[in-house]
């Protein structure tokens, strides 16, 4: 009732409203007009959040489809070895959010990923799906390319900080637990070969000890970290442009299970941890994010039905065009 009154901005000024229901009265014409106005309000509210994300990703897609060369591997290395670690270090070292809140979001990330793994281990065989092929794509959201960007534009600096916390946990588990699932062999050395743990350790050391860091260090890491978000979005679009979609029944079932499990866990965990405000929003957004591009790269490297995994990436990314705005509407509009 109150939600309808607040969303329909016109109902408060031009339309008579029923006191008992809070619903506009006055005929179908005015009611339809109010609905259109409400939708317009929603679009205008979401446009500043989603337009930069989808515009940059779309530019990457059109770049490749237009026949221009894009070295995905080199750009991915640049982002994962320079841009993202600098962004993580700078964010953690200058963390403005309460430490307890950051820990809760990190715990939420761990619970979501491990919860999806446990459910997937049971549910995938029942659905006739291979655990080796579809378990990791179901477990990990695209908290990097899309997650950080959406959290930044939706919740400003606080969203960026907590989004990076979630991404750091996801990346760490993907390069350890994820590699174990893809390869069948535990290889913690793979994580140590990436800059992520060192960026996290350095950022936390500065934060916890309140160490004096030269201003030029923060200026440098801030500039380098600034390349991460636009390049991740551009690379997402460029990479998807090279994928071929196969509409096998297995792929469709895997996509449906991913979102059902992801959304269920996101709501359950935010309630269980008592998360509110920005922290709750950051975690709930993860439930509607697509499978990350890294899943397709791992599937290709370990030969785990790469065409099907790539199709999961593409289809979930397309689905996010609808699901992310719906989630943002739920979170941001009263």
The count of structural domains within the chain is 1
The stretch 273-282 carries a mean pLDDT of 96
**Residue 187 above 70 pLDDT?**
no
* Among the ranges given (88-97, 122-131, 259-268, 291-300), the one the predictor scored with the smallest mean pLDDT: 291-300
Q: State the average pLDDT over residues 210-225.
A: 92
Distance separating alpha carbons of residues 148 and 170, to the nearest angstrom: 12
CATH code where residue 277 lies: 1.20.1530.20
- pLDDT for 245 equals 83
Tokens of 248: 């096998």
Query: pLDDT for 151-180, tens place per residue?
Result: 999 999 999 999 999 999 998 888 888 888
Domain contains 29: no
- Give the predicted TM-score (pTM) of the model: 0.81
Report d(CA 89, CA 29) in Å as an integer: 55
Would you state the pLDDT for residue 244? 80
Average pLDDT score, the chain: 85
Percent of the chain's residues with pLDDT above 70: 86
pLDDT at 188 over 60: yes
Is 289 inside a domain boundary?
Answer: yes
- What pLDDT band is residue 38 in, cutting at 50, 70 and 90? low
Tokens matching residue 222:
């801030």
Q: Which of 199, 139, 135, 222 is nearest to 173 (CA)?
A: 139
pLDDT at 19: 45
User: Would you put residue 140 in left (φ > 0), alpha (ψ -120 to 50) or beta?
Assistant: beta
Q: What residue numbers bound the domain in which 147 lies?
A: 50-332
- Burial string for 67-77 (b: 16+ CB within 10 Å, else e) reads eeebebeebbe
């Amino acid at each position: 009732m109150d939600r309808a009154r607040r969303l329909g901005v016109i109902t408060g000024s031009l339309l008579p409203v029923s006191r008992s229901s809070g619903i506009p009265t006055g005929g179908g014409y005015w009611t339809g007009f109010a609905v259109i106005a409400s939708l317009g309000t929603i679009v205008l509210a979401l446009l500043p959040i989603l337009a930069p994300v989808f515009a940059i990703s779309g530019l990457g897609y059109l770049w490749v489809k237009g026949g221009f060369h894009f070295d995905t591997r080199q750009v991915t290395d640049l982002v994962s070895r320079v841009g993202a670690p600098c962004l993580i270090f700078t964010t953690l070292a200058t963390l403005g959010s309460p430490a307890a809140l950051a820990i809760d979001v990190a715990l939420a990330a761990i619970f979501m990923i491990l919860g999806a793994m446990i459910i997937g281990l049971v549910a995938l065989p029942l659905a006739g799906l291979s655990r080796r092929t579809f378990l990791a794509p179901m477990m990990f959201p695209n908290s990097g390319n899309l997650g950080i960007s959406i959290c930044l534009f939706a919740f400003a600096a606080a969203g960026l900080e907590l989004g990076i916390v979630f991404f750091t946990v996801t990346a760490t588990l993907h390069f350890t637990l994820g590699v174990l699932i893809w390869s069948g062999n535990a290889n913690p050395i793979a994580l140590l070969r990436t800059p992520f743990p060192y960026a996290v350790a350095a950022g936390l050391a500065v934060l916890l000890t309140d160490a004096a860091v030269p201003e030029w260090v923060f200026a440098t890491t801030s500039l380098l970290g600034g390349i991460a978000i636009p390049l991740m979005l551009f690379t997402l679009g460029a990479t998807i442009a090279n994928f071929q979609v196969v509409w096998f029944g297995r792929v469709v079932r895997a996509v449906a299970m991913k979102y059902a499990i992801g959304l269920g866990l996101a709501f359950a965990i935010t309630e269980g941890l008592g998360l509110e405000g920005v922290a709750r929003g950051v975690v709930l957004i993860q439930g509607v994010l697509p499978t990350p591009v890294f899943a397709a790269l791992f599937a290709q490297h370990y030969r785990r039905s790469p065409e099907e995994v790539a199709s999961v990436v593409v289809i979930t990314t397309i689905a996010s065009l609808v699901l992310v705005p719906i989630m943002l509407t739920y979170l941001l509009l009263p």
